[in-house]
Structure 1
């Protein structure tokens, strides 16, 4: 594909759920790797819009893709892949050599003193069920240990959420958790707690999947023409924000919900589900559909 050709579709993916198994935290279905490489080689622009760190995406996503031939796919002019990490706090192109230089938006980062406080909190009281993610550059993530049952993590998570909410507020930061909020000295609430099924994130309120989608489209637009047709794929209600941005920007978009049991949102664009399949099995089915539709296999 040349830099002047227009791809038939563009893809924005959340990672945990549709690409990486929420159980193993890695790509557990081989066809996902093969199909992502085939689509990238065909000129389809692909972005990973994730709350994960760049280190996680490098190790668990890009490394296996490179081993499966991604380097050759991205060596062709016009083929594009992009990564947005920590919900928009960091980003970089993906090249034939792997991740490029990561740019970090320091304006949305939590103060080091708060990061250290939450790290100590985990070590002192919650290390039996969760761990502090040392790879994050701007946000805080505390995640379920893979050797701990999900029920045990969920039992401990509310207590951690309460303790970390109090710790952040004690340092004078404005922070929101659910319906509660504490304002800073300027009357602002610049941070929030965002619990997920496997973690709790403490992050700037400016970070979310629409910000990540905007960042990815800006990169793609600067390096070649954009398709009119897009699909976003995710397992959380916040992942709909990727499609929200595409829709508001005038693109023909549908969102693929790989965990619809959490509630399908009412949106002015189509919502796609993959029958009874969920998580990475649904992601694999979606990728397989487009590989077949485009005649790549």
Structure 2
């Protein structure tokens, strides 16, 4: 990867995708964000996407527009997907091999039952994400309103838990304090504003952050300063992990209305801006810092 701009110290960027990078409405990435990420990577900043999204989504919505805009020679981007369960890197030549931690994958029979549930009961509100390789996810359709989806999501999450019980899968819900199983908790149901992820309890944004460092290390000296960006409380786990490892980190929260927790590192916001508009403002300031 190219050296950092003369006189400037490269910072690492660890970015959630839905919300701060991709619009939660259109699911696409604004051209300005693509341009700024390319500029920062060309200046020697490691850029890693740390997302619950699949590798297929990153290839389509992030990698493809970057390649179309022109990824500079020598620049490599990294993507940790499905909250650490899958990962790959990409350059101007396209995506490299996609790696999957099979030990984190959910049973195929459970995924089949969830697919049937969506098709039979919730198809007007959500679709089954066929691109996931380890977790099981459903997502709001583009034609449904978010208000309607969120109502249906609560019923879906309850139904999904019933299916998990029928498969003897110990599970809990992140939006409830008490577990939904008397047995060992191996899986969790994680609802977001446009989706529900059903996943191993051993995945998470901290797992993604650890994976990110291993991906960056072969390409450059790992920067001591990092900025993590996310739109949910679970995204703080990225900064938590880096702080625990001794890095200088600050977290950028692009949806602070959900509540900003007290942290031993700086938490940044972009005024009244939220989601991809806040992400764009933050990245623009990063680019301005290069001059």
TM-score (norm 1): 0.93
1:10 aligns with 2:9: no
SS at match of 1:189: coil
Deviations 1:36-88 (A, max 9, x none): 11111111100000000000010011100111111xx2x22xx4421000000
Tell me the CA shift for residue 246 of structure 1.
0.9
The equivalent residue for 2:35 is 34
The equivalent residue for 2:54 is 53
1:191 aligns with 2:187: yes
The equivalent residue for 1:180 is 179
Deviations 1:97-129 (A, max 9, x none): 222100001101111100000000001111011
Residues in 2 aligned to 1:36 and 1:175: alpha-carbon distance in whole angstroms: 38
Checking the alignment, whether the CA contact within 8 Å between 1:243 and 1:254 is kept in structure 2 is yes
Residues 1:7 and 1:222: Cα distance change in structure 2 (over 3 Å) = farther
1:154 aligns with 2:150: yes
1:250 aligns with 2:252: no
User: Please, what is the CA RMSD of the aligned residues?
Assistant: 1.4
1:142 aligns with one of 138, 145, 151 = 138
Q: How many equivalent residue pairs?
A: 285
The equivalent residue for 1:63 is 64
Residues in 1 aligned to 2:220 and 2:55: alpha-carbon distance in whole angstroms: 24
1:294 aligns with 2:286: no
Tell me the CA shift for residue 159 of structure 1.
0.7
Tell me the CA shift for residue 222 of structure 1.
2.6
2:201 aligns with one of 192, 202, 205 = 205
Residues 1:202 and 1:232: Cα distance change in structure 2 (over 3 Å) = same
Taking the TM superposition and a 5 Å limit, the aligned residue runs for 1:225-244 are 225-244=221-240
Tell me the CA shift for residue 96 of structure 1.
2.2
Residues in 1 aligned to 2:31 and 2:138: alpha-carbon distance in whole angstroms: 28
Residues in 2 aligned to 1:97 and 1:173: alpha-carbon distance in whole angstroms: 41
SS at match of 1:91: strand
Residues in 2 aligned to 1:243 and 1:180: alpha-carbon distance in whole angstroms: 26
The equivalent residue for 2:270 is 274
Residues in 2 aligned to 1:124 and 1:108: alpha-carbon distance in whole angstroms: 27
Residues in 2 aligned to 1:30 and 1:147: alpha-carbon distance in whole angstroms: 24
1:22 aligns with one of 14, 19, 24 = 24
- Structure 1's consecutive aligned runs of 4 or more residues displaced over 6 angstroms after TM superposition are none
TM-score (norm 2): 0.95
Moved more, 173-182 or 125-134: 173-182
Tell me the CA shift for residue 194 of structure 1.
0.4
Residues in 2 aligned to 1:228 and 1:157: alpha-carbon distance in whole angstroms: 40
Residues in 2 aligned to 1:287 and 1:66: alpha-carbon distance in whole angstroms: 19
- Structure 2 spans left out of the alignment, 5+ residues: none
1:82 aligns with 2:82: no
Residues in 2 aligned to 1:2 and 1:195: alpha-carbon distance in whole angstroms: 40
